[in-house]
């Protein structure tokens, strides 16, 4: 299996990044990833203020997928996420939502073992590994790896985990897929500004889909399908995710606008992915059983 190492890291999703590896449609590829701090924080006496900011949010790649052309969709099946043995969190004045309540910086090292992450002496939780940053290159100007958008990027969606399938737009030849910013565990919202940030490795299968009308980014797991949308405000992200799913229901399930809206209002769950990045991200989730009832199958 092709493995892409962390020395290929990029800090911008851009058509100008030279591909570091090439895969055929249907190939399985492993991306080794640094944590979102570029693995600079090894102990609790290293603080946010001491970070080299040029090394923040590294993504591994980009991978060139043969046959991927603008207008196609890149299907990324997340087969496996392996994690390092410890994660890290930081905070400081002004960071995230809760940064208003702190007057100093703090770093927490969180051991990860046997499928559990230790938060403190009293609290341990089962891990739920996810990918914070995953995307393709935008058509025009590059986008910083810390920012989400129509190309994917720093979406920080807790559902982008093992067993899920992510559909991303192909904007440039080869798609130029890159990823990083794994979390051992994160709550919806990522309110303090980070999850349990951790290095690791992600194994994916990449497939080029021609003539695929899915709104992107789009994610499917064993229970739900969801449209993901990022915008400058949480309000706009919420509207975008909702209308993206509304358009999916009309185009793919052939519902009329009334039926689609009513269905979303009855069983659609509008959720916050994150409210701490330069653009905010929401998702609209619908049970997969609806697609099954309508005989719709995801490519």
With vertex at residue 76, the alpha carbon angle to CA 71 and CA 82, rounded to the nearest 5 degrees, is 155
Q: What is the DSSP letter of 19?
A: P
Closest contact distance (angstroms) between CB of 276 and Ca ion is 8
Strand partners, 118: 124
Closest distance between Ca ion and the C-beta of residue 1, in Å?
Answer: 26
Contacts of 79 (CB under 8 A, 6+ apart): 28, 162, 203, 204, 205
- Closer to Ca ion by Cβ: residue 97 or 299: 97
Residue 94 vs 295, nearer CB to Ca ion: 94
Find all residues with CB under 8 Å of 26, minimum gap 6, and list them. 205, 206, 207
Residues that bind Ca ion (CB under 5 A): 36, 132, 154, 156, 181, 194, 197
Q: CA–CA separation, 237 vs 280, rounded Å?
A: 6
How far apart are CB 37 and Ca ion at their closest, in Å? 9
Q: Give the burial string for 117-132 (b: 16+ CB within 10 Å, else e).
A: bbeeeeebeebbbbbb
**Residue closest to Ca ion when measured from CB atoms:** 132
For Ca ion, which is the closer residue by CB, 156 or 279?
156
Nearer to Ca ion, 65 or 134 (CB): 134
Residue 85 Cβ, how far from Ca ion at the closest point, in Å? 18
Q: Toward Ca ion, which CB reaches closer, 36 or 245?
A: 36
Q: Least distance from C-beta 166 to Ca ion, angstroms?
A: 15
């Amino acid at each position: 299996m092709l493995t892409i190492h962390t020395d290929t890291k990029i800090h911008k999703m851009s058509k100008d990044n030279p591909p570091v590896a090439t895969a055929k449609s249907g190939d399985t590829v492993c991306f080794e990833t640094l944590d979102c701090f570029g693995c600079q924080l090894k102990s609790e006496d290293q603080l946010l203020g001491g970070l080299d900011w040029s090394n923040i949010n590294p993504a591994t790649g980009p991978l060139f997928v043969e046959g991927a052309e603008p207008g196609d969709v890149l299907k990324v099946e997340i087969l496996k996420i392996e994690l390092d043995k410890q994660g890290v969190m930081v905070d400081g004045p002004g960071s995230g939502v809760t940064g208003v309540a702190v007057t100093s910086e703090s770093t927490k090292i969180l051991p990860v073992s046997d499928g559990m992450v230790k938060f403190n002496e009293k609290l341990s939780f089962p891990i739920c590994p996810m990918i914070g940053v995953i995307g393709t290159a935008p058509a025009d100007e590059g986008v910083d790896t810390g920012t989400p958008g129509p190309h994917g990027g720093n979406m920080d969606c807790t559902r982008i985990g093992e067993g899920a399938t992510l559909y991303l737009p192909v904007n440039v030849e080869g798609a130029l897929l890159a990823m990083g910013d794994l979390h051992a565990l994160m709550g919806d919202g990522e309110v303090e500004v980070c999850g349990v940030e951790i290095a690791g490795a992600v194994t994916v299968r990449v497939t080029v889909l021609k003539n695929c009308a899915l709104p992107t980014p789009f994610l499917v797991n064993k229970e739900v399908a969801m449209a993901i949308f990022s915008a400058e405000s949480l309000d706009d992200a919420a509207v975008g995710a909702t209308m993206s799913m509304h358009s999916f229901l009309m185009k793919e399930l052939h519902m009329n606008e009334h039926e689609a809206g009513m269905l979303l209002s009855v069983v659609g769950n509008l959720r916050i992915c994150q409210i701490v990045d330069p653009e905010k991200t929401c998702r609209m989730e619908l049970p997969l059983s609806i697609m099954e009832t309508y005989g719709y199958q995801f490519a």
